[in-house]
Amino acid sequence: MEPTTYKGKCVIVGDSAVGKTSLISCFVEQKFPNDYLPTIGTNLYLKEVRPKENIIFQLTCWDIAGEKKWNVMRKLYYKGATGAFIVADLSRQETFDSVKNYWNPEIKQYCPGIPIILLANKNDLNHHFTKEEIMKVGKDIGAIETYLTSAKTSLNVNDAFTTLVGEMVK
């Protein structure tokens, strides 16, 4: 029996330097970039995922710049998204404030009804958050799942992407 092929678009958003590009690179290319270059506008990544035996999912990841100067263009990049990651940096409290006050409302405005996963990234660095505090942020924004991740060590990165793909297939 031939596998069924699906296509989907996920967007990954969050403040500048939270690790969006590193997370995608970890998932798509199985590597961690050692240099930091801010994303200009958006970068696209493609990966074929097999969430189930008879399903092929062609995932396009849109890595969207977090700098505020891209606000005008960003809404164009959201068009057609079927899933989203909102990323915060565990070493910077203000990035969690942005998740609640900026990124989540923006995703809900331009991509209503799509599954959202919160990624609390840079778990390999020192931070003062409890797991309960992080889970509360995820619950508050209506995330289907919340993961503590590290693009550097690949902690929970594949699990997060696999979960989102599973939701996008439904």
**CATH at residue 44:** 3.40.50.300
Residue 37 pLDDT class (50, 70, 90 cuts): low
DSSP state of 3: P
CA distance 92 to 24: 20
CA distance 129 to 92: 10
- DSSP β-bridge partners for residue 119: 87, 147
pLDDT digits (tens, 9 = 90+) for 109-146: 999 999 999 999 999 999 999 999 999 999 999 999 99
Q: What's the Cα-to-Cα distance from 126 to each of 90, 92, 100, 107, 154, rounded to whole Å?
A: 8, 10, 22, 29, 16
Choose among 37, 57, 75, 61: nearest CA to 169. Answer: 57
Domains of the chain: total: 1
Does residue 58 sit in helix, strand or coil? Answer: strand
**Main-chain dihedrals φ then ψ at residue 86, nearest 5 degrees:** -110, 125
- DSSP β-bridge partners for residue 84: 11, 116
Q: What is the pLDDT of residue 35?
A: 66
CA distance 31 to 99: 26
**Distance between start and end Cα atoms, the chain:** 20
User: What is the distance of C-alpha 97 from the center of its chain?
Assistant: 16
On the question of pLDDT at 170 being above 90, the answer is: no
Does residue 146 sit in helix, strand or coil? Answer: strand
pLDDT digits (tens, 9 = 90+) for 81-109: 999 999 999 999 999 999 999 999 999 99
Range(s) of the domain holding residue 155: 4-169
